Structures are given as structure tokens and as C-alpha cells.
Copies of this chain bind each other. A is one copy, B any other.
Amino acid sequence: MSLLVTGSIAIDTIKTPYGFSENCIGGSAVYFSMAASFFYPVRLVGAVGSDCPFDMAKIFAGRSVDLAGLEVRKNSKTFRWIGSYRENMDERTTDYIELNVLEEAPPDVPAEFKYSNFVFLANTAPNLQLKLLNQIDNPVFVAADTMDFWIEGQLEDLKKLLKKINCLMLNEDEARLLAKEHNLIKAADKILGIGTDVVIIKKGESGSLMCNSNGDRFILPAYPATVVKDPTGAGDSFAGGFMGYLAQAGKADFASLKTAVAYGTVVAAFTIADFSLNGLSSIDKTNIDNRLETLREVTSF
């Protein structure tokens, strides 16, 4: 089995009620890779500009993250994001954004990555997600993230993408927008009608809902975290724990998907406990497994 992610590497500046972190490492591919590497080796595909201040090999030192798909583009600049969170940590404001390298052609998937079984297409324009996916030969399980901007502006491309992937992840507002339906169970069923096999609707501090086209359903609360300093990267860490577990299990039946959602939930809770990658870089797999048992205990009856 093999696991590949396509996504962003970002220079983030984040303000929350609990602190401030300037020019720290971020981006969907980075959070995903950190989270997934607890479970399975990760192949990272992404691009930075020549201004990138981070030594990616050092950031992933000691972790099984293959950087053969990391492009450093000489005449480009790295994606930058400045954002802030208020007391209600579920809502965030983008204060400043420079897409830079993200506005260019997507990176090439290296020849040695083309045969990858489990693939995560982090949030970007759905036509770019399709172009990236087209570079992979016969993947087994493909998951993608999306957002309101693409649902509103590139719906036809998104629908094409949905027919090519196995799992869509999106948040509750995005699910309602895409399905034009308030009830989330019905919304999930409507999205499944467009084309994917599995839909995971993320509800922030209220957890997540997973439905598949066979009518199977799974509902899991968020991990009961009392320390939430910076929600940035929660969704991509969730995806990383989810896909990392599936790649490790080597299968994607509904029982495995349920456990994968639980692992994603737990890993995301570590991410939001501190700024940038600090929450994930300070733990090991035992911490994750212990929290999984706690989550099982506090949700079972």
C-alpha cells in the first residue's frame, strides 16, 4: 500500500484569543503529512517558492514523509496566509492572503509516486484536483476536501471530481450549500447522489458525520478537548489521521472507515491544542491510541 497527498505548504500568521504565531509552517499537505505519518509513510506532492524559509526535511525529520514530490519554484513565492480566530474558535477570518504558487500549474506527480493506492486531494480548485488525480494510476481510495468558494464558483468541475473520487470531506455549511438541504443526513445522501461513495461532514466542535451510498451511517462527537489554542490545520489533520489509518489497514470497508474517522478526530484534537505543528510534533502514536480509547469510552453506552 502507498499513501499520497497533494496540497499546500504555507507561511501562516495566526492570531487567536490564546496567542499569536508569526510566519509559522502551515498548509494542508504539511498538516496532513504530519498527521498521517503516525500511521503510514506519506508521499507529499506540493510546491513552494524560492522564498520558503522552512527546511522541510528538518520539519519531517524522523518521520516517514517522502519529499520527492516537493517542487521548489525559483521564480515563485510561497503561499502566505494571515488569519485570526475569535472566542468562538469555530469561525475564522482571513486577514490577508497571497496565493502565489497556488495560482500556478499544479505540481507534477513524480514517476515514482504515480502508482499510489490511497490518495488525498487537499482543498484547491476542483479542476486542479482532477489534473492531479489524472496523474495517478488506478488508485484504490481517493478522498478530497473542498470549500464554499468552489461550490459557488466551480460547481460543474466539482461534480466531475465527485464522480472520480471515493470520499468527499467538507464542513456542515459547505454540505448544506452543495446539497441545498438543511438536514445533514439528507444533505449527505444528496451529495452521494452526485457521485462519490462516502461523504464525511465535519461539524467542528460537534464532531462529524459519515454516510456511504449503501446507507451506512456513522456519527462521532469531537474529542472532548479543553485546550484549544489554534484550530488551523484541524481539517487536514483529521484527513491525515483518517487516510493514514486506512493506508495502514489496507482497506476501506465501513468498519475501517469508522475507525479511521475516530483516529482523524483524535489527531485533530492534538493539532488544535497548540499553534502550527507544535501540537503534533510533541506526541507519539501511544498518545494517539490512548485518546482513541478515551474517545471510545466517553461515547459508548
Closest 8 A/B residue pairs (Cβ): A206-B206, A219-B221, A258-B301, A217-B298, A262-B301, A185-B226, A185-B224, A259-B301
Asked if A285 CB lies within 8 Å of chain B CBs, one says no
Task: Give residues in A with beta carbon < 8 Å to B.
Answer: 87-89, 182-186, 203, 205-207, 209, 217-221, 224-226, 228, 255, 258-259, 261-262, 296, 298-301
Tell me which of B218, B300, B301 contacts A298 (CB under 8 A). B218
A62–B262 CA distance with the chains assembled, in angstroms: 44
Task: Contact check, B299 vs A219: say whether CB atoms are below 8 A apart.
Answer: yes
Copies assembled? 2
A259–B300 CA distance with the chains assembled, in angstroms: 9
Q: How far in angstroms is the closest Cβ of chain B from A219?
A: 4
Residues of B within 8 A of A186 (CB): 226
Residues of B within 8 A of A89 (CB): 182
Residue of B nearest to A261 (CB): B301
Residues of B within 8 A of A219 (CB): 207, 221, 224, 298-299
A99–B80 CA distance with the chains assembled, in angstroms: 57
A225–B182 CA distance with the chains assembled, in angstroms: 12
Residues of B within 8 A of A301 (CB): 218, 220, 255, 258-259, 261-262, 296
Task: Contact check, A87 vs B203: say whether CB atoms are below 8 A apart.
Answer: no
Residues of B within 8 A of A299 (CB): 218-220, 299-300
Residue of B nearest to A265 (CB): B301
Task: Contact check, B224 vs A221: say whether CB atoms are below 8 A apart.
Answer: no
Q: How far in angstroms is the closest Cβ of chain B from A234?
A: 15
21 A–B contacts from the bound complex (CB under 8 Å): A183-B228, A185-B224, A185-B225, A186-B226, A206-B206, A206-B207, A207-B221, A209-B221, A217-B224, A218-B299, A219-B221, A219-B298, A219-B299, A220-B221, A220-B299, A221-B221, A258-B300, A258-B301, A296-B301, A299-B299, A300-B300
A224–B188 CA distance with the chains assembled, in angstroms: 12
Residues of B within 8 A of A258 (CB): 300-301
Q: How far in angstroms is the closest Cβ of chain B from A1?
A: 21
A249–B233 CA distance with the chains assembled, in angstroms: 44
Other than A184-B205, A258-B300, A259-B301, give 15 A-B pairs with Cβ distance below 8 A: A88-B182, A89-B182, A183-B226, A183-B228, A186-B226, A206-B206, A209-B224, A218-B298, A218-B301, A219-B224, A219-B298, A220-B301, A255-B301, A261-B301, A300-B300
A261–B183 CA distance with the chains assembled, in angstroms: 22
Residue of B nearest to A211 (CB): B224
